[in-house]
Each structure stands twice: as structure tokens, then as C-alpha cells.
């Protein structure tokens, strides 16, 4: 398995897609029930393959990632050959994961306690795995509103 298995909730949300996936494997509902009951290790493999397919699709479609911690924000634009990263660092005790802290940041963007950094990071041989590792560390896929806002602000 390349990524991680989808959660039970994610499988429930993707129930129809999973049925379609099994159909492409020529697995009927009865065969699936039999597989789960009599060959659980093969059923596990099917779940893993489906999970990887879903992750591949989501990672291919992702254009932006955000990772926000109490005193830092890392915003990624996922280009074809690299990631453009904007970092925002808060050098005081404001926690930007709270409403108060985030409002402080919005009102004090030019304060000396706010530091902006930018970089481009080349992908490794497997760019989707690079993206996935960021998600495992807490990043989330977004539409890029924060990235675009800070990109305009600092460029």
C-alpha cells in the first residue's frame, strides 16, 4: 500500500465508487461477501488498492495545501514541477489557530512580530507521495484562498 487506507467513514462516503471499483474488477456483491468471509486477506488487498486509487486522484487534483500551527502557517501552491511555499511565522504568544490569534494576525500583518518567507521546493521522483507526506504531517487540501492572499501581499 502506497498511502493509508481510507477510514470507515470515507469508505461509507465512497460506497458507490467502491461498488464501481469492484465491478471493474469483475467482483459481484455475492463474490465480495464471499471474499470478506472466506479470504479476508484478499478483501484487505482490494480495500488497500481502492484507497490508493482514491488518494492518487485526490493528490493529482490538489492545487493547494495549508498547514497551520499555533505560531506558523505554511501555504503551498502545488505546481507541476515544484511547490511554491509561503511561510508566515508569528514571533509572539498569539496562537493563530484560535479566532483571537487569527484576528490579531489579520490586523497586524505588517507588525515586526510577523515574518514572511518564500521558497520553491522541487518534488522528489514521486510528487504525489511528497504531497501525501505533508498531509500526514497535518496539511489539508484547500482552494488556495490564503495562499493567493499572502502571495499578493508579499509579491
The mean pLDDT value of the chain amounts to 96
User: Among candidates 149, 153, 76, 81, which has minimal Cα distance to 119?
Assistant: 76
Element (H, E) at 21: helix 15-24
Model pTM? Answer: 0.88
C-alpha distances (whole Å) from 12 to each of 54, 61, 116, 123, 126 are 13, 21, 41, 33, 29
> Percentage helix, strand, coil, to 5, in the chain?
50, 20, 30
pLDDT tens per residue, range 57-84: 999 999 999 999 999 999 999 999 999 9
pLDDT tens per residue, range 21-51: 999 989 999 999 999 999 999 999 999 999 9
pLDDT at 123: 97
- Per domain, the residue ranges of the chain are 8-61, 64-154
Amino acid at each position: 500500500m502506497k498511502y493509508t487506507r481510507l477510514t470507515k467513514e470515507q469508505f461509507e462516503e465512497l460506497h458507490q465508487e467502491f461498488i464501481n471499483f469492484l465491478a471493474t474488477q469483475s467482483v459481484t456483491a455475492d463474490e465480495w461477501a464471499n471474499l470478506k468471509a472466506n479470504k479476508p486477506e484478499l478483501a484487505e488487498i482490494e480495500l488497500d488498492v481502492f484507497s490508493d486509487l482514491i488518494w492518487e486522484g485526490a493528490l493529482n487534483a490538489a492545487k493547494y495545501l495549508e498547514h497551520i500551527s499555533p505560531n506558523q502557517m505554511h501555504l503551498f501552491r502545488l505546481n507541476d514541477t515544484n511547490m511554491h511555499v509561503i511561510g508566515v511565522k508569528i514571533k509572539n504568544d498569539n496562537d493563530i489557530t484560535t479566532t483571537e490569534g487569527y484576528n490579531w494576525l489579520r490586523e497586524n500583518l505588517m507588525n515586526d512580530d510577523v515574518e514572511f518567507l518564500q521558497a520553491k521546493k522541487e518534488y522528489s521522483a514521486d510528487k504525489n507521495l511528497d504531497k501525501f507526506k505533508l498531509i500526514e504531517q497535518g496539511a489539508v487540501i484547500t482552494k488556495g484562498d490564503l495562499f493567493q492572499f499572502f502571495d499578493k501581499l508579499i509579491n
